[in-house]
A = this chain, B = another copy of it.
Amino acid sequence: MAFEPPASVDRKPETAQKPLRADAQRNRDRLVEVAASVFAERGIDASLEEIARRAGVGIGTLYRHFPTREHLVEVVYRREVEGLCAAAGELAARHASDVALEEWMRRFVDYIATKRGLATSLRILLTTNSTLFSDTSGRVSQALRQLVEAAVADGTIRGDVDASDVLHALGGIYSAPETPEWRDRSRRLVKLLMDGLRFGAGK
């Protein structure tokens, strides 16, 4: 305690560690799932005991799997980003590529919206744990690139932009001030952006 350890969550080696016992794996999954909804509902400071309770496990089990609150938050956050990015592939398969892009951006905005309230805690986590930041932002921009390139390739959006342009355009959303109309304004921004992208498509 004299020397509080760096607040970063330590990396577990990517080399898959021995598989968990079946019950342990079940509990762990359950905890992550419940934690995601409790954090969403009550904020990032939600009681860990409540999470354990709702997951139907003892508090000791929660702590064994996630030795600190930050461990749990990190896992939940990674899972959510992963889900968002995975949706890119599904949308691409099911819709015209410009529609897929638009829908994905809309989801992106919604997702950011849910995270606005947590901004300070999350920012601390992201600055503290730099791999978390680079991993997730890399994953997000990869998903976006996939969608933009597909839409450019089949001519449903103009060809003189790339994924990083779009990401920058979306970036404005992130930094916009926290007002009640934030969400609506962001949605308008996505629409506007799409109109711009569609304009002059197919040359």
Contact = CB atoms under 8 A, between A and B. Distances in A.
Contact of A42 (B1, B118, B121): B1
A4 B128 contact: no
A120 interface: yes
A7 B44 CA distance: 14
Residue among A6, A7, A45, A120 having the largest count of chain B Cβ atoms under 10 Å? A120
A43 B6 contact: no
A120 B1 contact: no
A57 B79 CA distance: 47
11 contacts: A1-B45, A2-B42, A2-B117, A3-B117, A4-B43, A4-B45, A4-B117, A4-B118, A6-B120, A7-B120, A120-B128
A124 interface: yes
A182 to B, nearest CB: 13
**Interface size, A (range):** 10 to 19
Quickly give the copy total for this chain.
2
Given A1-B43, A4-B43, 5 more contacts: A2-B42, A3-B43, A3-B117, A4-B117, A4-B121
Nearest to A123: B127
Interface in A1-47: 1-4, 6-7, 42-45
Contacts of A2: 42-43, 117
A183 B44 CA distance: 38
A128 to B, nearest CB: 7
Interface in A109-133: 117-118, 120-121, 124, 128
